[in-house]
């Protein structure tokens, strides 16, 4: 018996689905975090737990599965190799979750995925091949993300407090809430990306000059990325993530916008079914 497993996993949890050769879903399951760059062993346990739930009642074994795993950290080769060694599937392919999200969102069509939430990542599918761009984490990338928007807001508040940027009501509020520059620094020393991202709603849709300036800069960056990825074409763009609709509203017009056709799990299953079955 050969069945196909699709996994979509990130920092907050993972989702699994198992299907047969015809694409009929036989079961679904969920598990805990599956960011393999953060904790590969924990990710493996959670992936196996989610897979076990999806297989319940099917009579199939883990060794019957041809699996595609779309995971946060999937571009880190050492982590992917370590995870592969921990999994008992018949065949396993590990990719970044942006790749499976793009396949799920676009189906087999050419197009671009822009996933913008706490982090950010882009992917382009051309002639059935998916390539990821960005998604390199909060410290060195994730431009346009909620975490970077929040960090930019706090940095602007400190600049305004020093007289190097125009003070605005929003920046005054931030300085008062966090206890001035010293409080902002203390917050930043212990904050995770999600903590910075919690400030992003203060920027979106705000009439405050600082908020508009920060978001305008982020929109400009996303527009630049999409322009480069278009490479002179007119590819449809799918926006995902909590911030996706906000960017889509600002960027509606240059290229056709499309609603996602499916999820990251759908994309992983489609990719698994395309893999050659084991002998």
Q: How confident is the model over 204-234, as pLDDT tens digits? A: 989 999 999 999 999 999 999 999 999 889 9
The pLDDT mean for the chain works out to: 91
* Residue 190 scores a pLDDT above 70: yes
Fold type of domain 146-251: Nucleotidyltransferase; domain 5 (3.30.420)
- Residues 57-67, mean pLDDT to the nearest whole number: 88
Domain(s) of CATH 3.30.420.40: residues in the chain: 3-107+261-274, 146-251
pLDDT surpassing 80 at residue 276: no
Q: Phi/psi at 76 (nearest 5 deg)? A: -85, 110
pLDDT at site 279 = 45
pLDDT tens string 46-58: 999 999 999 988 8
Q: Are 221 and 148 in contact (CB under 8 A)?
A: no
Quote the pLDDT of residue 70.
Answer: 93
pLDDT at 165: 94
Cβ–Cβ under 8 Å, residues 215 and 153: no
Count other C-beta atoms under 10 Å from residue 1's C-beta: 10
pTM above 0.85, yes or no: no
- What pLDDT sits at residue 149? 96
Instruction: Report the pLDDT value the prediction gives residue 216, as an integer from 0 to 100.
Output: 95
Ramachandran angles phi, psi of 276, nearest 5°: -70, 130
Residue pLDDT, tens place only, 67-108: 999 998 888 889 999 999 999 999 999 998 889 999 999 998
**pLDDT in the model for residue 4:** 95
Question: ∠153-191-202 over CA atoms, to 5°?
Answer: 30
Residue percentage of the chain with pLDDT more than 90:
67
The answer, yes or no, to whether residue 66 has pLDDT greater than 80, is yes
CATH number of 3-107+261-274: 3.30.420.40
On the question of pLDDT at 278 being above 60, the answer is no
Phi, psi (degrees; rounded to nearest 5) at 3 = -125, 165
């Amino acid at each position: 018996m050969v069945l196909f497993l699709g996994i979509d996993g990130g920092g907050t949890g993972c989702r699994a689905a198992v299907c047969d050769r015809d694409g009929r879903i036989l079961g679904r399951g969920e598990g805990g975090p599956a960011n393999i760059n953060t904790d590969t062993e924990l990710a493996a346990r959670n992936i196996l737990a989610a897979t076990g739930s999806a297989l319940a009642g099917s009579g199939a074994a883990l060794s019957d599965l041809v699996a595609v795993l779309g995971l946060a950290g999937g571009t880190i080769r050492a982590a992917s190799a370590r995870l592969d060694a921990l999994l008992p599937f018949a065949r396993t392919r590990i990719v970044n979750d942006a790749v499976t999200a793009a396949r799920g969102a676009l189906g087999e069509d050419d197009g671009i995925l822009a996933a913008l939430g706490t982090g950010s990542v882009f992917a382009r599918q051309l002639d059935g091949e998916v390539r990821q761009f960005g998604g390199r984490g909060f410290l060195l990338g994730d431009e346009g993300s909620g975490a970077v928007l929040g960090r930019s807001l706090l940095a602007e508040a400190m600049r305004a407090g020093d007289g190097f940027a125009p003070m605005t009501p929003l920046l005054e509020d931030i300085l008062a809430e966090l206890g001035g520059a010293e409080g902002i620094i203390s917050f930043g020393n212990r904050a995770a990306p999600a903590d910075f991202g919690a400030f992003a709603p203060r920027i979106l849709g705000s009439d405050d000059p600082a908020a508009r300036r920060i978001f305008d800069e982020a929109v400009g960056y996303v527009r630049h990325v999409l322009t480069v990825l278009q490479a002179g074409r007119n590819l449809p763009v799918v926006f995902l993530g909590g911030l996706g609709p906000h960017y889509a509203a600002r960027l509606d017009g240059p290229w056709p916008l499309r609603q996602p056709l499916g999820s990251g799990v759908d994309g992983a299953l489609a990719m698994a079914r395309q893999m050659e079955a084991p002998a």
